Structure 1
Amino acid sequence: MGKTRISRLAAPVLVRGRSLFSGRLFERLRHVLWAALISLALYAVFLLQPIDQFLWLFQSRVADRNPTGDVVFVSSNEALNDTDNPQTRFRVAAALDELDRQGVGKVFLDIPFSTSENAAADARLARAIADLGPRISLVDRILEGPTGERIRRTTSPTIAGPATRVVSDQTDRDWYGFAWRLHYAYQNDGRVTRSLGAAIAGVEGNPNETFSVDYGFAVDRIPTLQLDELSGNARSLSELAAEVTGKTVVIGHSGLVAGSQQPMPRKMDAAVSYVDIYAGESLKAGHTGSLRGPIVLSFFAALLLISIVFSRARRQRWVAYSATVLVAPALLYAAAKIGIRLELSYALTFLAIYAALRSRMRWKRRVEMVNQETGLAKLRALEARLIRDSVTNGHIVIAKIQNYERVLKTLRADDKGSYVLKLVDRLRAADSNLVVYSDGHHLGWHVANDDTDAVVEHLEGLRAIFAAPIQVGGFSVDVGITFGIAGVEGDPSARLAAAVAAAEETSEAHNPIAIAETGSQTDLLWDISLRARIDDAMEAGEIYCVYQPKIDLQSNAVVGVEALVRWHDPARGFISPMHFIQQCEKAGRMEHLTRYVLQSACSAGQLLHFRGHMISMSVNISATLLSDMRVVGLVRNVLQATRFDPCFLTLEITETARISDHEVAATILNELRSIGVRISMDDFGVGAANYEAFYELPFDEIKIDRMFVANIAKDPKARAIVASIAAMGRGARITVVAEGLENPQDIPMLQEAGCQQVQGFAFSRPLSLSNLLEYQELAPEQTLSNIV
């Protein structure tokens, strides 16, 4: 029975633990770790100490505690130790005599007296000090000189006699000039002398130990007297403003005397003696504790971790975040009330850094979910919206733009987005508020109508609208559009995939509108059947590699080839590489396909080297594989199995925009480079290959996208882009390859732009291995038409 109860309690924890290092949760934990490390680094260099001192001012204000009343401050607005006016010493002596008569407990004379020219005045003061005996202590003050040296001001021995001495060090100050921590004692000339604050409280301590000064006591509640009240000049001695019998009295200058001012949290022009009075009161009350930055930081890190791990829903997490933030002022206030100094700035910085990291990640996701050319949200945003809003009714519609890639090739770069937006305007003909999502040649949206026939009828009407051509960039472009439909039930992600799959099965002539079968079983069968076909095709040799040469423009010789994967299905014929690679990713077979292509390419490269053709072999690697170190083992194992020299292998990274973590990807790429392989950035210049990835990842080669190379002769913009990318490559000391060269007459322009290598139909189409071996035997000037 007991075991059953324990297992029931442990089950939720175990389930949460299994998902601890997956997805968004791991991302949040990583951000907590980074925020904590940065905050600790700031603590190590005391960078946030001024912020803590500002918060301590707040603590001092809100505490509002009563002092013990056992310490009385006797002040004078006149400098009593001026050697040019020795008569004031008689007044000090009279005050000491009166304190002796009143039965004072302790007296601390916080005014250093040096010998004056009036021996009678000095003798009178010395006698008054001697009469108090062990009840009086003379204060030596340590000041900072104009050049930073320590100056000790002390009462002359002829005046002090055998009186006990204590020390007040005015160099114990921080950023704003406040004395937040003082020493129990000070060591001078091998002798340990108690500090004034410790002596007031009657405690002993080590010179190396310090304590916090609590300024939470109300300054106006500290008993005070004017010196003249004790010396008998002001009024009758029986009318003292404060009782001194049995109490501790500190005699010192007020803040009106030059050089005696000291800023305090509750009084910016206070007398310097107040600092030591507050120190004594702090020690008496036991309010000398403090919570250092790492302790407070650990507390808030624990709160944040609890909020992250146990808050499943977004709303719960935001409530937990808010509660964690509100704990900070509450903790600051509570610590002030109980007299504990709190170093809160590092915890606040920790929370701020975590919030900044999360905000950056959310911004990055929003950017990733937006098509940069059109400004429309991507299909992933539609999926996120359906999940977030818990949509369970209606239909998902995916429109497939027919001949999309061919149309884009004919348009200028700035007209591509306009082309898609004009298509979206037509889709909104019946509903101007329709939210349309764009991703490649797919446009998608959600229809709230549950009637499938009505949705199909509406789409038939939209197809009629698209019968008319669209005007883009001064050209009239015919539009072909087909639709895939999936009912929303169960898993929105699966239904979106089903709608995309249905759209891919459409054709303008025979099946313009396809409806995905109800239920998620169809989607599962799609993936399973695709997986089986891919595996069987690789075993049967239906999936194979062809090789496109890369030509060095300086030597006009073949310096490498790129391995391109192809699939010829006996039943369906040639399958588009873009399509089956995309479906291969969905089926989770990308790693298996990559291993197959890499092994075929390295084996072909080894055969070429055996024939004496020492050229490089390039293989495409999907960016989705750069989140796991297993790809390094995959490449290493293939190289060992084929015995292909790694220095002749180039891995071309495709679709770099899909890299979720550049830091992890950089680590993986550097590990691959350590094997000896070279890293290339494919399709640079278009949305999938951006400057951020180029900057943050270690590339040895950059390939200019075919869209710019193909238009270099007729479009000055394309020519300028090619030249700028080539110049950037030269500056970064990496190889620049122009791919997609179709016209041999464009070669001089590419040479002038600074491209080092080219590949494209101008030299050769992709070749089978046997044709490639034959091609390698040809002289560069011979025609290639017979073998292409």
Structure 2
Amino acid sequence: MVVVLVLASMRFLSPVDFTIWAFQTRLFERASVVDVAYVDLSPQGDTQAEAAASLNRQVLASIRAFKRADAELIAINVPLRRSDSPSLDRDLRAELIGNRDRVLLTQGNHRPEDQDADGKRSDPYFEAGMQVVDNHLPKDFLDLVWSVEPFSKEDGERVPSLWTRLTRVGGPLGTEIGPDYSILIESVPRFDAAQLMSQGAAEARLPGGGKVVIGSPYETRISNQGILPSGLIHILAATTYDQGRGLIVYWNVLLIGIFAALLACVVSRLSSSSRRQAYGILVTAIVIGIFLAGAFGVRAEFSYSIALLAIYGGFRALARYKRRHLLLEPRSRLPNFVALHRDLGGDEIAPNLAIVVAKVARLDSVFTTLSPSEQERYLRQIADRLAIGQNGSTIYYDGGKYFAFALKTAQFEDLEAHLRGLRAIATQSVEVGARLFDVSMTLGVDQDAYRTVSNRLSSAIAAADRAREAYRPVFMITDFQSDKEDWDYSLQTRLEHALSHDRIDIALQPQFDLASGDIVGAEALARWFDEEQGQIPPERFIGQCERVGRLDELTERVLSKTLDSIEAMSANEWAPDVSLNISAIQFADEGIADLIERQIVGRAIDPKGVTIELTETARIENFVLARRTIERIKQLGMKFSIDDFGIQTANLETIYELPFDEIKIDRLFIGNLRQSTKARAITSSLIGLARDSGMVCVAEGIEDNATLELLKELGCERAQGYFLSRPIPPKDLINLLKSRTDGLDGRRYHG
């Protein structure tokens, strides 16, 4: 509505109305009885004085002819000028004064170039003592006249318009009208002044009480009837008024009516079909209105009502498109997470709702065996199961592996127990196309009453990722809250500031060759020193980065600084291998490969000296995609290491499925080598596995010399730990390498 009002204030849509009126004019053309005659003037002469004399003779002859024909009114719609014939001018002046009751003069602009005072009205010699009316016609940008005003103002006084004197009433009127151009111009009686001069009054026959306009030679465009003298418009306007036509219905009247009708449709809560019928009736009403207005000679401004309907229809179409496409996940036809944000208010706080996210594992593998229609049925069955007992809750699907819904916490005495039961139902086998498919699912829940729905959805996704099918299938966000450091939301704000202002740095922990004692590598570790809390442990802020969706940004910054340090060491002709940690969750697509390629291209380093340590390998759901991504990165020359091998699910399956070049034995076994025979046996087996598989074996967490010596005995190739060196800044590693090159004892370094 506001847009339409702005357009109306600018008259921006007037051309639409002009087009409609021209269409109506052509559609309803008709002959009509016209009581006013028109006299065409055709003055001749090579000079202005000669032309004035010719015009005055024709005007004088026309007045005399129509006086004899008993004309009720003779309007001279042309400015009179004094000629080079004083006697002619005196005769014309005498005829004017003698018939002042029936003869009137006009004033106004007859053509664009006549803007001076003399061009607007007759010479005072002729005008003195005469009736004077206005003949101004407002024109649009195409020089067409669509409305005529009943009067103009001059020196604060009203001057009646010519057309008002041509009506049967013949007096001042107060109503603006629209001339009815459907009246054929051939209906107007026409005379030629030159013929009247030669033939006399015998040819000037008028109906009793007829009126005459002695016309201007200047021309005006009339819709659908070409270029004609402007006096004819005044005649058509008078005829329109006499026939009770020409009413102007302004845009605001129609607009208010259409707006009220649309508002009624919206607030009445009609069904979709009833609402569409109502919209159809409105459109039909406007079309019928256009035809009826043309038929009855009403000049109605429909354009802004049409614009309102078009804008409203556009918004409705956009909303419908969003519902069908932008707010629905195309494969399942379920509402997506954008719809969840809209329905629950992404930036609002919903204290009585728990946000639940269901993560379905190995969906990609299932989808490879299903057609698109079967995939929809599979997803729909899971959604239907999640909706059991939820009292009509909407199930949302993000198009990947996550479903989400909201629960009113007050409905459940034990929410976790309810969700465990719901999961037991949802993970029953799904039958699609006469085949049964297993369903693996974990649930993440956020009940925090003081954060926005958007933040809580991200937290619930992170909770679903942390949940484990075997021993913790439902992960409640309160489990996060029990660890204050994990869920320090002020820390999240500071972390985002640190990322935006490049406050995340790296430290390098040297790796030593156990046979030679040389530094052969280093592990790049992210470091963040916060002004308020000091040094923040990586395990604390890396998890936060993942939860706020900025893990890729952190990885790119750490990788960039790592490559910078490699370039600095290469400049001093040192080339130790440098590794950095990347979470396996980032290998869910090939975006991580694009990130690494962007950073490595153009650098003066050998990519063979860069090792990617893959962490949290338990979160790899699609080994085929992960392997493809790893092999793409390895084509650059980089190597891959499996971090924390031997614990959780960094297991033999992962080693078998993915092309690793290195195994890092977790500190759980290394720290217990001296006192545990099991730890020694496991470590020895892992070292043998690496050797037999052609991989390098690295032990981490060396805290004392006895452990170091045991690793040498077991045949481990490389080691790192605080006993050998703490993580140190890149420049200190360069100094350490320099000291060893110079023959100094650099075996032990505590940063």
The TM-score bracket by the shorter chain reads: 0.5 to 0.7
CA 1:562–1:244 in 2, change beyond 3 Å: closer, same or farther? closer
User: Would the alpha carbon gap of residues 84 and 569 (structure 1) be closer, same or farther in structure 2, given more than 3 Å must change?
Assistant: closer
Q: Give the one of 28, 51, 69 matched to 1:102.
A: 69
Pair 1:574 & 2:477 matched: no
1:486–1:514 CA distance, 2 compared to 1 (3 A): farther
Residue ranges of structure 1 left out of the alignment (5+ in a row) = 1-35, 385-399, 409-418, 426-433, 447-482, 517-529, 540-560, 581-592, 619-643, 656-678, 686-704, 727-737, 751-759, 766-777, 783-788
1:83 matched to 2:49? The reply is yes
- Deviation of 1:359 after TM superposition, in Å, equals 2.1
Contact residue 265 and residue 275 of structure 2 kept, 8 A: yes
For these two proteins, the number of residue pairs brought into alignment is 490
Find the aligned partners of 2:375 and 2:381 in 1 and give their Cα distance. 6
Equivalent in the alignment of 2:153? 187
Give, in whole Å, the separation in 2 of the partners of 1:303 and 1:368: 29
For residue 22 of structure 2, what is the aligned residue in structure 1? 57
Given candidates 305, 312, 331, the residue that maps to 1:376 is: 331
> What is the deviation of 1:251?
0.7
Q: Are the equivalent residues in 1 in contact too, given 2:250–2:301 (CA < 8 A)?
A: yes
- Please state if 1:40 is matched with 2:5: yes
* Residue 94 of structure 2, aligned match among 120, 124, 127: 127
Give the alignment of 1:629-640 within 5 angstroms: none
* 1:158 maps onto 2:125 in alignment: yes
Which runs of 5 or more structure 2 residues have no equivalent in the other structure?
Answer: 340-357, 396-402, 406-418, 450-458, 498-531, 554-581, 601-611, 618-628, 634-642, 649-721, 729-751
Partners of 1:38 and 1:599 lie apart in 2 by: 53
Give % identity. Answer: 16
TM-aligned CA distance change 1:245 to 1:280, over 3 Å: same
- Aligned-pair distance for 1:92? 2.6
Pairing partner for 1:344 from 293, 299, 302: 302
Asked if the contact 1:197/1:280 (under 8 Å) is kept, the reply is yes
* Amino acid in structure 2 at the alignment position of 1:322: G
The 2-side partners of 1:598 and 1:274 are apart by 87
Q: Structure 1 residue 354: deviation in Å?
A: 1.9
Q: Does the 8 Å contact 2:180/2:237 carry over to 1?
A: yes
1:458 aligned partner:
none
Which residue type is aligned with residue 370 of structure 2? V
The residue aligned with 1:196 is: 162
The structure 2 residue matched to 1:505, chosen from 422, 427, 439, is: 427
> Which letter maps to 1:93?
L
Counterparts in 2 of 1:500 and 1:159: CA distance versus 1, 3 Å = same
TM-superposed deviation, 1:125: 2.0
2-side partners of 1:193 and 1:46: how far apart? 27
Q: Is the aligned partner of 1:173 residue 2:136?
A: no
CA RMSD of aligned residues (A): 5.8
C-alpha contact 1:709 1:722 (8 A) present in aligned 2: no
Q: Is the 8 A contact 1:708 1:718 kept in 2?
A: no
1:246–1:368 CA distance, 2 compared to 1 (3 A): closer
Match of 1:332 in 2: 290
Shift of 1:175: 2.1
Structure-1 separation of matches of 2:68 and 2:613: 104
Match for residue 69 of structure 1?
34
Return the alpha-carbon distance in structure 2 between the equivalents of residues 181 and 725 of structure 1: 70
SS at match of 1:113: coil
Deviations 1:484-531 (A, max 9, x none): 8999xx99989x9999967732369xxx96999xxxxxxxxxxxxx99
- Whether contact under 8 Å (1:87, 1:121) holds in the other structure is no
**Shift in CA distance, 342/163, structure 1 to aligned 2, threshold 3 Å:** same
Report if the CA contact (8 A) 1:143-1:150 is conserved.
no
Q: In the alignment, which residue of structure 2 is the partner of 1:436?
A: 374
The match for 1:689 is none
Whether 1:423 and 2:369 are equivalent positions in the alignment is: yes
Whose Rg is larger?
Answer: 2
Alignment partner, residue 637 of structure 1: none
C-alpha contact (below 8 Å) 2:41/2:55 kept by paired residues: no
* 1:105/1:247 contact within 8 Å kept: yes
The change in CA–CA distance for 1:84 and 1:134 in structure 2 (over 3 A counts) is: same
Counterpart of 2:368, as a letter, is K
Cα distance in 2 for partners of 1:148, 1:111 equals 15
Does residue 262 of structure 1 match 2:227? no
Looking at structure 2, the residues matched to 296 and 327 of structure 1 have their Cα atoms a distance apart, in angstroms, of 11
Change (3 A) 1:147 1:230: closer
Does structure 1 residue 252 correspond to structure 2 residue 215?
yes
Cα distance change, pair 125–721 in 1 and its aligned pair in 2 (3 A): farther
Mapped to 1, the partners of 2:462 and 2:394 lie a distance apart of 31
Matched residue of 2:95: which SS?
Answer: helix
* Partner residue in 2 for 1:460: none
SS of the residue corresponding to residue 436 of structure 1 reads helix
Q: CA deviation at 1:194?
A: 2.2
In the other structure, the counterpart of 2:254 is 296
Task: Tell me the SS of whatever aligns to 1:263.
Answer: strand
Q: CA deviation at 1:109?
A: 0.5
Q: Are the structure 2 counterparts of residues 194 and 615 from structure 1 closer, same or farther at C-alpha, using a change threshold of 3 Å? A: closer
Aligned residue for 2:181, secondary structure, equals: coil
Within the alignment, does 1:117 sit opposite 2:84 as a pair? yes
More displaced stretch, 498-507 vs 269-278: 498-507
Taking structure 1 as reference, are residues 250 and 422 closer, same or farther at Cα in structure 2, changes over 3 Å only? same
CA shift, 1:51, in A, is: 0.9
Which AA in structure 2 matches 1:49?
A: S
Give secondary structure in 2 for the equivalent of 1:250. strand
- 2:186 is equivalent to residue 220 of structure 1: yes
Tell me how far 1:179 sits from its aligned partner. Answer: 1.7
Distance 1:739 1:154 in 2: 96
1:653-664 alignment runs, 5 A limit: none
Q: In the aligned structure 1, how far is the partner of 2:438 from the partner of 2:587?
A: 39
1:316 aligns with 2:274: yes
Q: What one-letter code is carried by the residue in structure 1 that aligns with 2:59?
A: V
Q: Give the structure-2-normalised TM-score.
A: 0.52
Instruction: State whether residues 31 and 186 of structure 2, in contact with CA within 8 Å, keep that contact through their aligned partners in structure 1.
Output: no
- Cα distance, 1:198 vs. partner? 2.6
Q: Distance in 2 between matches of 1:252 and 1:180?
A: 20
Q: Distance in 2 between matches of 1:507 and 1:212?
A: 76
| 1:718 alignment counterpart | 592
* Distance in 2 (alpha carbons) for counterparts of 1:147 and 1:102: 33
Normalising by structure 1, we get a TM-score of 0.50
CA distance 1:283–1:653, shift in 2 (3 Å): farther
Aligned to 1:346, the other structure's residue is in SS state: helix
1:271 aligned to which of 229, 236, 241: 229
Mark the CA change 1:721 to 1:333 in structure 2 (over 3 Å): closer, same or farther: farther
Q: Which residue of 2 aligns with 1:781?
A: 727
SS in 2 for 1:204: coil
The one-character-per-residue Cα deviations of 1:2-35 (angstroms, maximum 9, x if unpaired) are: xxxxxxxxxxxxxxxxxxxxxxxxxxxxxxxxxx
Secondary structure in 2 matching 1:73:
strand
What is the CA–CA distance in structure 2 between the aligned matches of 1:180 and 1:564, rounded to whole Å?
Answer: 68
Are 1:602 and 1:617, in contact at CA under 8 Å, matched by a contact in 2?
no
> Structure 2: how far apart are the matches of 1:564 and 1:249?
90
| Contact 2:583–2:614 under 8 Å retained in 1 | yes
Aligned pair in 2 of structure 1 residues 312, 139: CA closer, same or farther (>3 Å)? closer
CA distance in 2, matches of 1:57, 1:422: 62
Secondary structure in 1 aligned to 2:152? strand
Give the distance between the partners of 1:147 and 1:74, measured in 2 at CA. 22
Q: 1:199 to 1:568 in 2, by over 3 A?
A: closer
The secondary structure found in structure 1 opposite 2:108 is: strand
Distance 1:710 1:571, change over 3 A: closer
State the alpha-carbon separation in 1 of the partners of residues 75 and 493 from structure 2: 93
What displacement does 1:39 show? 1.7
Cα deviation for residue 344 of structure 1 reads: 0.8
Q: Distance in 2 between matches of 1:142 and 1:402?
A: 81
